[in-house]
Amino acid sequence: MLFVCDKENPLNPSSSSKTSESHRKPSLLDALTPLLILIALLSLSVFFYGADSSYGPNQIALLLCAGVAALVGMKNGFTWKEMEGGMLHGMSLVFGAILILLAVGALIGSWILAGTVPSMIYYGVQMLSPQWFYAASCLICAVVGLSIGSSWTTAGTLGVALMGIAAALGLNPAITAGAVISGAYFGDKMSPLSDTTNVAAAVTSNDLFLHIRHMLWTTIPAFVMAITIFAVIGLSADTGSASAQDIQLLLNALREEFSISIVSLLPLALLLFMAWRKIPAYPTLIIGALVGCMIAIVFEPNATRQLAGGEGALSLLKGAWHSLFDGYKSTSSNEAVASLLSKGGMSSMLNTIWLIISAMAFGGVMERAGFLECIVNWALSGVKTVGGLITSTVLTCFGMNAAAGDQYMAIIIPGRMFRDAFTDKGLHRLNLSRTLEDSGTITSVLIPWNTCGAYMSATLGVATFTYAPFALFNILCPLLAIAYGWLHFKQMPLGKENTLPLAEEVHS
């Protein structure tokens, strides 16, 4: 007998009791058909195009499957207008992320032109030991991410510089990207300034600081294990093919093209200060990019004029402007420097935006037709134990990240759907909010067409499937959550939240 959803969709703002009467409840086959076709097409895309599958083939697969989902929805009584509305609603959810992507592209271009990124690479190459580089990168990004509450900002600033340092030292870019992402997501997950941390606490009706405190049980062990593995990799593996002579040639090439100085780091200091002061991400990034332009005009006039391809005062403005929309193009004779610094600009993010829009069109129509809710209800139907409930929550969040293409949907939808299930098992909802973060927040970056996976791939310059095996923290967290569930370890019962340290202080 087919599993049929028997609940109205409370998550879709465009649904109503009036229209739902004319819509047939989707069967599990209805819900899974677009998803299974998507998995098949994406697998074929990777088979045909490999790491280049995110540069067009995946977008085609997502849009085709959005059409398949719409057709199945229309079979169940939805109109094309309603299906189109679901797509548009899904796209509207990521407009803020698209603005941030464009701002990060502009920031990278202007910061290279200003000498900010070259200075970070110059000083970092001399300060960071190749043997400890992976572990140090993870730790540095964790501290910054915890301070500002944003994995995207951390990766888009320090992450870009660390990738440049790794290239200069001849280190593995995939491992470096994994270390950057592991640290950035640890900081994002544990910071009270993080939007995902606040969303997970809010959707489960938990106190923010009790939520953060309860996450320590899975987050700290996962982070310690990740740092340890990165240290072992750095100490035991071949940590760089660059010789001392190669590094010195690179440093000299950086000095020839830019005026390396502490002044060039002012945009970074300003951006971190604004983020710490809780100024929203988009204005923070835009202001950081514009300050980079001003630093470039004053301290890097030669590089700015060269980018503009002209002389005179107006060429300075033109060069700075060019860095914002099309990034920086290095003219260095040193191939390593030319490769490191020829990047950035809003135009560099357009393919990523295409991928995100395609993913959200698919996720939006899946939600509007009730398919996502149907899949979650099916996942809950066979849950009998605490371990099964935690495992189902983790897998559902991961599935939502893949099907909906956005980590917020992977937190909010399972968060609402699993609330009563945790209560029925005698578990406090702090266990649910922790599991949502251990899976919904953390695994988003492992999926190429998810907003987070697409962003990290575009920003760090490494394909998602290439860095994914080395995003150790992001892999270990959900595994620990599942293990804790089956072992009944640190699963808080109902009514026991006041046993947590700081609980009295928080509630007072």
pLDDT value, residue 221: 96
Residues 31, 47 contacting (CB under 8 angstroms) = no
pLDDT value, residue 14: 42
Q: Is 443 helix (H, G, I), strand (E, B) or coil?
A: helix
Q: What is the pLDDT of residues 367-424, one digit of tens each?
A: 899 998 888 788 777 788 899 999 999 999 998 888 777 788 788 878 877 888 898 8
- In a domain, residue 170? The reply is yes
pLDDT value, residue 146: 87
- In a domain, residue 111? The reply is yes
pLDDT value, residue 1: 40
Residues 76, 24 contacting (CB under 8 angstroms) = yes
**CA–CA separation, 183 and 189 (whole Å):** 10
pLDDT value, residue 168: 83
* Dihedral sign for Cα atoms in the order 135, 140, 146, 150: negative
What does each C-alpha distance from 344 to 25, 434, 459 come to in angstroms? 47, 36, 9
Nearest to 345 by CA among 367, 310, 321: 321
pLDDT value, residue 12: 46
- Residue 343 pairs in a beta bridge with 328
Q: What six digits make up the tokens of 173?
A: 């870019």
Q: What six digits make up the tokens of 204?
A: 């489960």
- In a domain, residue 223? The reply is yes
In the chain, which stretches have pLDDT less than 70?
A: 1-21, 51, 238-244, 496-508
pLDDT value, residue 147: 76
pLDDT value, residue 325: 94
**Long-range pairs for 383-387: beta carbons < 8 A, 24 or more residues apart:** 383/421, 385/486, 386/425, 386/427, 386/485, 386/486, 386/488, 386/491, 387/482, 387/485, 387/486, 387/487, 387/488
**CA–CA separation, 336 and 163 (whole Å):** 12
pTM of the model: 0.77
What does each C-alpha distance from 263 to 117, 268, 299, 362 come to in angstroms? 12, 10, 9, 46
**CA–CA separation, 166 and 177 (whole Å):** 10
**CA–CA separation, 246 and 77 (whole Å):** 66
The domain tally of the chain equals 1
Is residue 256 left, alpha or beta, with left meaning phi > 0 and alpha meaning psi from -120 to 50? Answer: alpha
Domain encompassing residue 135: 96-349
**CA–CA separation, 247 and 253 (whole Å):** 10
pLDDT value, residue 24: 87
- In a domain, residue 11? The reply is no
